Structure 1
Amino acid sequence: MSEHKHEYVSEKEFVDEKLDIERSSVILEEEENSPIPEVAAIVSNKDDPSTPVLTFRYWVMAVLFSIILSFFNQFFWFRTTPMTISTLVIQLLSYPFGKFMAKVLPAGRLNPGPFNIKEHVLVALTANCAGGTAYAVDIIVIQKVFYDQDFGFGANFLLILTTQMLGYGMAGVLRRYLVYPAAMIWPANLVQVALFNTLHQDEDLAPGQWTRFKFFLVATLAMFCYQWIPGFLFPVISSIAWICWIKPDNLMLSQLTGAGGLGFGAISLDWNNIVAFLGSPLIVPWWAQVNIALGFFLIAWIMVPIAYYSNLWEAKKFPILTPRLFTDGGNKYVVTNILTDNVLDEAKYEAYGALRISTFFALTYGIGFAGLASMMSHTWLYHRHKLVAQWKQSREHSEDIHHKLMQAYPEVPDWWYAALFLIMTAVAITICEVWDYKLPWWGVLLAIFIAAIFSLPVGLIQAITNQQPGLNIITEYVIGYILPGRPIANVTFKTLGYISMAQAMTFTSDLKLGHYMKIPPRAMFWAQLLGTVIAGLVNLLTANWLLSSQEGVCTTNETFSCPSAGTFYSASVIWGVISPNRMFGPASMYKAVNYFFIIGFLLPFPFYFLKKVFPNTFLEYVHIPVLLAATGMMPPAQAYHYTNWLVLGFAFQYFARRYHPEWHLRFTYVLSAAFDSGVAFMVLISFFIFTIRDAEMVEWWGTRTDLCPLEGHPTIPAVPLTPAK
């Protein structure tokens, strides 16, 4: 990854000092701070090692809020319009709760003084490990809904636990490269740090200046009140496809401008809609957003229309933007017609016909190939010297002031991480051997090996850009060639390979947050384990409840249509049932997408050498892996999600940062937290008042969903099916 001279200053070298860990408080000179402006402005350079952390108050709040967060996020994951309640909400709720417990509990071991910031951070870290829905739940859902298969609660829980916890071992190795160095800032953590400081620290204010806490409260209340408009009263403003509305019966206009099409000109006035798939645009550095914008415009608004209207791969038989599966005639592909015991039946496949997908879906896979290859060449070109230097320095402590302060605490022994990694690997092998996942023991080891190889380069990208290239495509590609025709083996391999790496990133990011907030590493280790176990159990219980209580869930249910599970199922068919050799092999219509591997690998080279020839130009900001990963969330993300996300990113990460830098450093991250909190409170209250009672808003023009009815239609109508005799 290149050094972005206009975005971050270079790393400053500090004199190697030994900390006096017996001091109850460490107070530093003002100039001894992080070399990164955003970090220096938000993260405190003081610490008190005597602050209690694993208190009774922590255990009560950690368990309670982890259960609440994992339940609601799993519940909303099934919804047609997904919603994620961020850990920022738990940060806010746990603050008054902790203050209340400190006030009412008797003083002593259960209540060791005022509720402190480190307890608060640890509660949030535990909740963060519980906040994400377990990816393995997708396996369980498609097994039950689409493949009529259920291995039982025990097997399902162990699968979730192993796929969620394998990343711990990788995080233990990665901390030397992705946590200790000052340049690895993990931008999303700065939002949480800003909120912690807002709640716990007094600020030096000019007369009439708002505190960050007051700003947070006002912004949260404002978003809470506003969100009732797009979220309940007037949902049409969530996706205003105004160009399409001009002539809704025009097919091409609908395909290009509809919210379900390419979204030209579509506007969203719904914060939840904007951040649903890409996260908050207020925290991603502007240079990274420029790369995302370039990637999106080139792929979604140039490549896709050209490919579609030139009828590449008979594109016009299918909608312009869809993950659904089709027959050659444009009808729904019924996968069960080609399976026997959930394995591809060659005779049935030959009789039924080949699988077809939209041209956009095929191109998305090609771009994913290119992004993965470019990540490897880019990391080698830009980071090979830095990685070697960091390896040599990993046993020293010549880092920034935050790393120096952390020397006051015992580090987690490497064998803790190694033991957990080996145990989870053994459990994963046992699961696949005992139950009929059709994935042999060597397949489990291969998946984990792939995750381990890619974890460092992916971490380098995420630590600086807040964007995470995924391994889902390469893992399903590899096992699809090795074990064709086995959909459950394919998705299990993908989950072990992809999510092990993704979880390693989550745990490493949390370690960096603990690093910023000076949390004892061993306390973080147990907090992360606690949150992960609670989440796995609650996710599974919630999923089982919805699958058994909601009729037509993930298929015909309009409220719980499971868009992510639908895409996951399509991938299981493409890579597992049909296999990559049939879909993208030499005899396939889509064989050209394999060239994207070569294109992606070569793309970083010209930009690397051009940057050396033309230093201090826009080339400093070109980041090919981020550019190619731009459309990685499409589908289920829609094009208009990107455009509205980029508009807000420009307003805050470019305009406010450049022309109002003091305001930007002081309030932007707090504003992001406030908006997330306001939306989450509205959704929670709406759920208890309306959703749980099956109550809906009165139908009127503002609740209509058919204002652009042709946006998901193909140009060439499907061939009518011949009725069975």
Structure 2
Amino acid sequence: MNAMDNPISYTTPVSTPSTSTASVTGGSELRDEKASPSPTKTSSGTATVYGSRTDAGSSVKLEKGGDGDSQVFALPNLFVANGLFYDSKVDSHMLDVSNFSDDGRAWSLTLRSFVVGSVVACFGAAIYQVYVLKPVLAAVSSTFLVTVVYILGVSWAYILPQPAPLDQNTSPGTLSCFVARINPGPFSLKEHAVASIIALSGANGSLAVQTLCTQHLYYKTKLDFLSSFLAIFSTACFGCGVAGLFYHRTSQRPQSVYPNAVLNVSTIRAFHNGSDTRKPLILFSAAFFGMLAYETLPAYVFPLLNGVNIFCLASQKAPKLTIDAFTSLFGGASGNEGLGLFSVSFDWQFIGSSFMHLPISYQVNIWFGFALCYATVMGIYYSNIWNSWNIPILSTTIFHSNGTLYDQTRMLDEYFRVIPAAVESEGLPYLTGSFLWANMSSNLAVGSLVAHALCVMGPKALYPFYCTNKDRKLSPQRRFEEGLPEVPLWWYAVLIFLAFFAGLAVVLNQHEYLSEVSYIIALVVGAAAVPFAITLSAYLGHWVLPTPHMAKMVGSVVAYGRPLGIIYFAMWSESAVASALHFADQLKLAEYTKVSPKVAFYSQIWGLLLGGVVNHAVMLCIVENQGETFLSALGTNIWNGQVPQILNSEAVTWSLANDLYNIKAPYFIVPLCLLIGAVLGFLQFALHLCWPRLSFCNPSNLMLPVIFMYSSLMTFGITSSILSSILVGILSQLWLRHRHWSWFNNQSMLVGSAFDGGAQSMLLLLSFTVLGGMGSPKPFLQWAGNSIRGNVDYCNGNGALD
């Protein structure tokens, strides 16, 4: 359960920043003039301080306006969830930039920041793509990437020669100018910010690559490199262009904090606040290399550490029905083995550091989500709803009614269109009950989140359409931004134009799969969701919208009977939202660190494209060697094709929407859950208005989106890390945070990110050396801690030994 989050402190506004100026010069580098704000006291009234609290890893203060206290909760960046700051009383809060000043040096986009950012972007993109094809989806730690950028930047400044200081009457020579461009001196905050933007953009992932992976595995066709790059370019840049058109409408009000950017801003500033960074870096290095060495044990030498379960170990000679039941409920150390109840994992790559920093009240809602998943999935399976008893309990592929894999090639013609007669002879495809519950609970989360946003934010949820100049003047950071050269709107229009025609070229090259009209509709659907998505991201830090299922619903209408066409339809629409949100977050990071918007624009586009190319290269390499594993129903404890399986299974079933998802079809409950979730959200808000003192009616206490979302995240892959993640959270929040507050506040985020980075780095290395990512796998010797036959946790029911 790897993720990123950071609680944030609040104070009332007590000062107003002064106006700053900036300019851009030509050449290979862009220059931002120094902006030195001088805080002044507010002229109207006396500000009342409600209190300031600095939480783990945060050196950034937020200003809170209005009355009353506010609770903030963070949802980590997992799968379809990307950070939820759940604040039922949010009134007016903003990042405090009034006391921020940089080191006075103007250069931000230098050769050093470009190279360092690009190297870390390639590294992050490779880790991201490897984890896409692993049994557990894990985000690349942004704090880890930002810290690595700083280490490389400082090393560059220390190792390479620096220009000699010049007297006032001495003009620099050619050699001095060259050295100054190679190494302009100490690694500055702005360089750090630009390199981090490149690195974070590269590690963001490309939905186009996952679509190409699905096409390669299930449809046995591959695009040439040019078409693949055009698809990567189009999906990355179209959303960026649309986001640019709306960004200034969503960023100029005090409520537009963009919480996802705050953690990275906090980390960047912490390295440049004038304090000695040697001790934190020594601690980071020790934690990183310690975890790097340790990870070889659970990942290769001692896989039993992935999940130790006393019920599995004690049931070796139990009756078959007992072993099967224990495997379904307690097994979870291998891919799609079981629900992993009471399993304890010692593998940090699956545990992650996110639960270290989540507030305990938020984690309680996560526990409710886990409990709901255990009860519901086991109930669906043993009640034989949707024929679940005859199908594996956990899997994301499609089956026949007897539990054998469904061969979709028999129902498709040469252009991958459904043949109705073949469907009648083969029968309809079946999904596992757990996968259906995952779709249902994610839709319940989306519906309840939208209801919460509308109830709490009201018309602000749509305010990009009526934001006024007066509203934009309310934001203190706007005073800094006014002095920086804005990106002209026509730049975004040109970017949209280029992205549109790049995608159109891909569609024309595969005209049989998706028509030009369907392509345009897909872009319109995605673009229409962008303003609302950016609004939620700016206010709540959350972007979960009904785009995945809505895109497939609309795609099933415009591309009915064409599963590959639906996959491409969903790719264009969903990527527009995903890239738009990342683009807006990084623009906000640049704004908070006073980097020119033009520099941020260049940096993001480069990082996204570079990361997409690396994603594509890594995907091709791994799929070439592990393709059969990705097509299997269960996978292994090392590789699992759940992401391409999900894309394909949903596309195939939605291509048969009339038979599977209409009002009389067996899976009608899946799209209906969007409405049910919204009704539950509105009902909870109404009950809270009637009985405000009831805790379970308060959305800040009982968080329906969080409960439903986490209930959907443990229905595939490896599930043995659930209990360990809970224990890490309890230990951190109830003991470490209270007994060792100073260490927790100053070091826990750094140590957690080092653990994440160390585990992920070793997995990247092992994946391409001994685990089969490149060439044939080289398994470790068989012994009690490394069971070659069956599941690694010795829960060998449900045919694990067959």
TM class, shorter-length: 0.7 to 0.9
Match of 1:525 in 2: 601
Q: 2 CA distance for matches of 1:366 and 1:538? A: 33
Letter aligned with residue 590 of structure 2: G
Match of 1:334 in 2: 407
* Offset from partner CA, 1:620-662 (integer Å, 9 cap, x none): 3333333332244455444444443344334435655566554
Is 2:304–2:793's contact at 8 Å kept on the other side of the alignment? Answer: no
Match of 1:220 in 2: 288
Residues 628-637 or 301-310, more deviating? 628-637
Match of 1:698 in 2: 781
Q: 1 CA distance for matches of 2:216 and 2:381? A: 35
Q: 2 CA distance for matches of 1:245 and 1:633? A: 26
Is 2:285–2:754's contact at 8 Å kept on the other side of the alignment? Answer: yes
Match of 1:411 in 2: 486
Match of 2:688 in 1: 611
Which has the bigger relative contact order, CA under 8 A and spacing at least 6? 1
The alpha-carbon deviation at position 527 of structure 1 amounts to: 0.1
RMSD between aligned residues: 3.7
Letter aligned with residue 59 of structure 2: A
Letter aligned with residue 367 of structure 2: A
Residues 518-527 or 603-612, more deviating? 603-612
The alpha-carbon deviation at position 82 of structure 1 amounts to: 6.6
Q: 2 CA distance for matches of 1:672 and 1:441? A: 47
Do structure 1's residue 512 and structure 2's residue 530 form an aligned pair?
no
Q: 1 CA distance for matches of 2:362 and 2:764? A: 32
- Secondary structure of 2:630's counterpart equals coil
Letter aligned with residue 591 of structure 2: H
Q: 2 CA distance for matches of 1:459 and 1:646? A: 31
Match of 1:128 in 2: 200
Is 1:319–1:712's contact at 8 Å kept on the other side of the alignment? Answer: no
Is 2:113–2:191's contact at 8 Å kept on the other side of the alignment? Answer: yes
Do structure 1's residue 319 and structure 2's residue 392 form an aligned pair?
yes
Match of 2:313 in 1: 245
Q: 1 CA distance for matches of 2:449 and 2:528? A: 12
Percent sequence identity over matched residues?
21
- Secondary structure of 1:554's counterpart equals helix
Paired residues for 1:518-667 under 5 Å: 518-548=594-624, 552=628, 554-555=630-631, 561-576=640-655, 579-615=656-692, 618=695, 619=698, 620-653=700-733, 656-657=736-737, 661-667=741-747
Q: 2 CA distance for matches of 1:580 and 1:81? A: 29
Match of 2:433 in 1: 359
Is 1:62–1:127's contact at 8 Å kept on the other side of the alignment? Answer: yes
* Offset from partner CA, 1:506-527 (integer Å, 9 cap, x none): 2222223223322222111100
* Offset from partner CA, 1:172-230 (integer Å, 9 cap, x none): 2453466555655555544434543454444389xxxx953344333334323332322
Q: What TM-score comes out, normalization by structure 2 length?
A: 0.78
Match of 1:64 in 2: 119
The alpha-carbon deviation at position 77 of structure 1 amounts to: 3.6
The alpha-carbon deviation at position 350 of structure 1 amounts to: 0.7
Q: 2 CA distance for matches of 1:335 and 1:170? A: 36
Do structure 1's residue 115 and structure 2's residue 187 form an aligned pair?
yes
Do structure 1's residue 46 and structure 2's residue 100 form an aligned pair?
yes
The alpha-carbon deviation at position 454 of structure 1 amounts to: 3.1
Match of 1:426 in 2: 501
The alpha-carbon deviation at position 366 of structure 1 amounts to: 2.3
Is 2:462–2:531's contact at 8 Å kept on the other side of the alignment? Answer: no
Q: Which protein has the bigger helix share?
A: 1
Structure 2 gap segments, 5+ residues each: 1-6, 23-32, 43-48, 62-96, 164-176
Q: 1 CA distance for matches of 2:8 and 2:685? A: 19
Paired residues for 1:363-382 under 5 Å: 363-382=437-456
Match of 2:168 in 1: none
Q: 2 CA distance for matches of 1:679 and 1:394? A: 48
Q: 2 CA distance for matches of 1:55 and 1:513? A: 18
- Secondary structure of 1:357's counterpart equals coil
Is 1:162–1:427's contact at 8 Å kept on the other side of the alignment? Answer: yes
Counterpart among 713, 718, 725 of residue 798 in structure 2:
713
Match of 2:345 in 1: 268
Match of 1:674 in 2: 754
Counterpart among 284, 304, 308 of residue 381 in structure 2:
308
Residues 560-569 or 498-507, more deviating? 560-569
Paired residues for 1:440-519 under 5 Å: 440-459=515-534, 461-462=536-537, 468-469=543-544, 471-519=547-595
Q: 1 CA distance for matches of 2:279 and 2:501? A: 52
Structure 1 gap segments, 5+ residues each: 1-6, 719-725
The alpha-carbon deviation at position 353 of structure 1 amounts to: 1.1
Q: 2 CA distance for matches of 1:650 and 1:414? A: 48
The alpha-carbon deviation at position 35 of structure 1 amounts to: 7.6
Q: 2 CA distance for matches of 1:663 and 1:27? A: 32
Q: 2 CA distance for matches of 1:204 and 1:551? A: 49
Match of 1:255 in 2: 328
Q: What TM-score comes out, normalization by structure 1 length?
A: 0.86
Q: 2 CA distance for matches of 1:386 and 1:639? A: 39
Aligned residues: 701
Is 2:454–2:461's contact at 8 Å kept on the other side of the alignment? Answer: no
Q: 2 CA distance for matches of 1:703 and 1:610? A: 53
Match of 2:25 in 1: none
Match of 1:142 in 2: 214
The alpha-carbon deviation at position 494 of structure 1 amounts to: 0.8
* Offset from partner CA, 1:76-123 (integer Å, 9 cap, x none): 544566776545444344334323433424523403332212212211
Q: 2 CA distance for matches of 1:593 and 1:564? A: 19
